[in-house]
Amino acid sequence: MPTLTLQRLTKTYGSLRALSEVSLTVAPGERVALLGHNGAGKSTLMKIILGLIPYDTGSLQVTGAAPGSAEARRNVAYLPENAAFHPALTGLEQMRHYLALRGESAALAMGLLDRVGLGPAARRRIGTYSKGMRQRVGLAQTLIGKPRLLVLDEPTSGLDPVSRRDFYELLDGLAADGASILLSSHALTEVEARTDRILILSGGVLVAEGALADLRRTAALPVAFHITPRAGAAASVAAALPEARVHTGNLTLTCAQEDKLRLLSRIMALGDQIADVDMVPPSLEDIYSHFSKRAGQ
Amino acid sequence: MNRILATSQTEFRIALRNRWVAISIAMMGLFSLVLSAAGSSATGTIGADRLSVVVASLTSLAVYLVPLVALLMSFDAIAGEVERGTLPLLLTYPVSRPQILIGKLLAHLAILTLAVAVGYGIAALAALALDRGAVAGLPALWRLMWSSVVLGATFLGVGYAASAVARRPSGAAGLAIGLWLGVIVLYDLGLLAAIVADKGGVFAAKVFPLALLANPADAFRLYNLAASQATSAAAGVAGAASTIPVWASLSSILAWPVLALVLATASFRKVTP
Ligand SMILES: Nc1ncnc2c1ncn2[C@@H]1O[C@H](COP(=O)(O)OP(=O)(O)OP(=O)(O)O)[C@@H](O)[C@H]1O
Ligand SMILES: [Mg+2]
C-alpha cells in the first residue's frame, strides 16, 4: 500500500490555480524530490498533504487516512519551509515538548539533538540560535517516533555543505527503515544523487515525474563530448569531426542520445590523435529547465 | 491529558521567561497593598469586620484588574504563534486545537491564581493583623478568590478568541483592550445611562437585572456583594445585588468560562496556518 496517494488534486486561491489536477503516489521507503520554480506550488502541496489547508477537488490518502486526521498526524512528520520556534525556550525544552506531544519519553530529547549536531547548544535558548541551528531543531523534531512519511519543505536551506551530507545520510537511514520521504528543494545537484524519484511542478501542474534516468530519456536532451586532441593533431581531428566547435584547441560536439555510441566510435576511430575524451550527459539543471520551459515558464 | 499538561508546562515556562508571572503577581500585590492601606483609615463605623470590608473593596478592584491581567496574558496566545510561524508545525502534531487551548488556559490560570493568592493574601494578612474579628471575613475572602479565578478564566477564553480572530498580535492587543473597555467600563456606563433615561421603570425592573447577569464582570460583582455582609460598604451595583438571587449570579459566573472557551475554540478552528 502506498504511503501517499494523490488523485487529480486541485487547489485555487481566488483566481490563482496553485495546483491543477496533481496525481502522484509515494511508496514506503521511497525518497521523492519535489522541484519547481518559486511559486510553483510545492509548499501548497505539502500543506495540503498535512491537512493544514483545504483543497478544492480531487482526493488524497495519507498513510491510508484523511489528511490532517489524528491517524495521519500520528504517522507524518513535517519540516516547514521556515522552521520557527519560541525564542524563549531552549532547544532541549522545545524537543521535550514535541516528544510529549507525540507521546514519547522526554528523555529522548538529548539523543535527537545529538543526532543533528545540536548537543552542545541544547541548553541555550533558540532565540540565540543561527538560522542553520534552527533548521536542525526542525530536522530533529521530524525524527521523533517512527514517522511513516516525512514531508520536508526545503530541508537543506540554511545548512552548510557538511551538514547537508549528514542530513542526506540520515534520510537514507530512515528510508532504509521503510519511511517515505517527500522533500522539496532548489539544490538540484544534491537531489540528483540522493533521491529515488523526481517530481517537477510548474505553475501548479506536475510536468514531469520519474527516476532521473527516465526523465533524462523523455527529455532526450543532447549529449556533449569534450575532446582534447594530442599535440599537433588538432587540425586533423577537426577535419575528421567537421560538426565540432573548436575552443582553445579543444573540440566540443553534441549529439542526440541515440547517436552517442555511433559518434563515440567515430571518435575512437581517430586512435592516438586523441589525448582525452569526456562524455557529458545533460545535467539535472538542463532536464529541469527543459520541463519547466515546455510548461511555458 | 499528557498533551494538555505538556502544553501548559511549556506555556508556563514561556510566561515565566517573558516575566508575565512576575508582572501579574506584582500588579495584583501592589494594588491590594494600596487598597488595604487606603481602607485602613475608614473602618469600625459600619459594624462589619475589617476583612469583610477589605473583601468588598478588593471585589471592586478585581472587576477591573483580573480581566485586564487575563486579557494581557491571552491576547498573544494564537496571534503570536501565527506571527512567529510556529503554528503550522504545531498543528501537524497529534494534538487537537481544544487541547492546545486548554493547555494554554491551565498555564495562564495557574499564573492568575498565583497572582490573586498573593494579592489578596497580602490584603488579608494586613486586615487580620489589625483586627482579631477579621476571621469572620475569611469565607468571603475564599469566595472572592475562587470567583476571581473563574472570572479570569472567562477573560482568558475571551482573549484567546480575540487572538484567533485578529491573527496578528497588534490587532489582538487592540481588540483585547477594546473588549476590556467595552465589557468592564462602558457596559456599566451604558446601563447607568439607560436607568437614568428610563422613566416608567420597566427597564430597571425587567431588563437591568438580566443585563447585569449577562455581563461576566457584573455577575462577579453581584455574586460577591450579595454574599458579603459588607454590601453597604461598596458602591455601584450594590443596590441591585439585593434583588437578584445568588444562584443566578453564580450560574452566570460559572457558565461564562465554558462559553468563552467554546467561543475561543470556534475562532481557533477558523485559523488556517
Ligand atoms: N495564502 C495564500 N493566499 C493566496 N495565494 C497563495 C497563498 N499561499 C500561496 N499562494 C500562492 O500559491 C502559489 C504557490 O505558492 P507556494 O508557496 O506553494 O510556492 P512554492 O513552490 O513553495 O515556492 P517557493 O519555492 O518560493 O517556496 C504562489 O503563486 C503563491 O503566491
Ligand atoms: Mg515553498
Buried b / exposed e across A244-278, counting CB within 10 Å, b at 16+?
Answer: beeeeebbebbbeeeebeebeeebeebeebbeebe
Q: Which ligand is nearest to the CA of A37?
A: 1
Q: Tell me which DSSP letter residue A230 carries.
A: P
Closest chain A C-alpha to B202 CA, distance in angstroms: 51
- Domain containing B153 equals 2-269
Spell out which residues line ligand 1, taking CB within 6 angstroms.
Answer: A 13, 16, 18, 36, 38-44, 81
Give me ligand 2 centre to Cα A201, in Å.
12
AA letter at B267: S
List the single residue in A with minimal CA-CA distance to B13.
A89
Compute φ and ψ for A60, nearest 5 degrees. Answer: -150, 145
Short-list B82, B65, B85, B83, CA closest to B73: B65
CB A274 within 8 A of CB A220: no
Q: Where do we find the cell 519540516?
A: A79
Query: What pLDDT does residue A8 have?
Result: 95
Nearest 10 degrees: CA dihedral of B247, B248, B250, B253? 170
CB A81 within 8 A of CB A43: yes
Q: Please give the number of the atom of ligand 1 that sits closest to the Cα of A36.
A: 21
- Range scoring the smallest mean pLDDT among A24-33, A138-147, B71-80, B118-127: B118-127
Choose the closest CB to A101 out of B6, B13, B84: B6
The number of domains in chain B is 1
Contacts of A84 in chain B (CB under 8 A): 84-86, 89
Closest chain A C-alpha to B83 CA, distance in angstroms: 10
Other CB atoms within 10 Å distance of the CB of residue B139? 15
Query: What pLDDT does residue A283 have?
Result: 83
Taking the mean position of all CA atoms in its chain, how far away is CA A193? Answer: 9
Other CB atoms within 10 Å distance of the CB of residue B271? 17
CB A281 within 8 A of CB A216: yes
> Which grid coordinates are listed for A243?
560538426
Compute φ and ψ for A28, nearest 5 degrees. Answer: -55, 140
Does residue B269 sit at the A interface (CB-CB below 8 Å)? no
Beta-bridge partner residues of A280: A224
Domains of chain A by range and CATH? 4-216 (3.40.50.300), 222-281 (3.30.70)
- Residues 63-122 on A with a CB inside 8 Å of B are 70, 73-74, 76-78, 80, 82-89, 93, 96-98, 100-103
Contacts of A47 in chain B (CB under 8 A): 88, 273
B6 contacts A103? CB cut-off 8 A: no
Q: Which H or E element spans position A175?
A: helix A161-176
Choose the closest CB to A80 out of B17, B88, B272: B88
B18 contacts A100? CB cut-off 8 A: no
The mean pLDDT value of chain A amounts to 91
Ligand 1 test: best mutation among A9, A15, A16, most atoms within 8 Å of CB? Answer: A16
At A213-271, the pLDDT tens digits run 888 888 888 889 898 988 888 888 888 888 888 888 888 988 888 888 888 888 888 88
Q: In terms of DSSP bridges, do strands A31-36 and A197-202 run parallel, antiparallel, or are they unpaired?
A: parallel
Query: What pLDDT does residue B240 have?
Result: 55
**Alpha-helix residue ranges (DSSP H) falling in chain B:** 2-17, 20-39, 50-74, 76-84, 87-91, 97-130, 138-166, 169-180, 187-197, 202, 208-214, 216-227, 238-241, 246-269
Task: State whether residue B158 is helix, strand or coil.
Answer: helix
B2 contacts A100? CB cut-off 8 A: yes
How far apart, in whole angstroms, are the C-alpha atoms of residue B246 and residue B94? 43
CB B236 within 8 A of CB B229: no
AA letter at B137: G
CB B52 within 8 A of CB B137: yes
Q: Where do we find the cell 523526481?
A: A198
Overall size of chain B counted in residues = 273
Q: Which ligand is nearest to the CA of A53?
A: 1
ipTM (interface pTM): 0.88
Q: Please give the number of the atom of ligand 1 that sits closest to the Cα of A37.
A: 25
Give me ligand 1 centre to Cα A39, in Å.
5
Percent of chain A with pLDDT over 90: 62
Give me ligand 1 centre to Cα B204, in Å.
57
Q: Tell me which DSSP letter residue A102 carries.
A: T
Choose the closest CB to A93 out of B13, B18, B84: B13
Going residue by residue through chain B (273 aa), what tens digit of pLDDT does each one get? 789 999 999 999 999 998 888 999 998 999 888 887 776 555 444 566 778 888 888 898 899 999 999 999 999 999 999 999 999 999 999 999 999 999 999 999 999 999 999 999 988 888 888 877 778 888 889 999 999 999 999 999 999 999 999 999 999 999 999 999 999 999 989 988 888 887 767 777 778 888 888 999 999 998 888 766 544 444 444 455 567 788 888 899 999 999 999 999 999 999 988
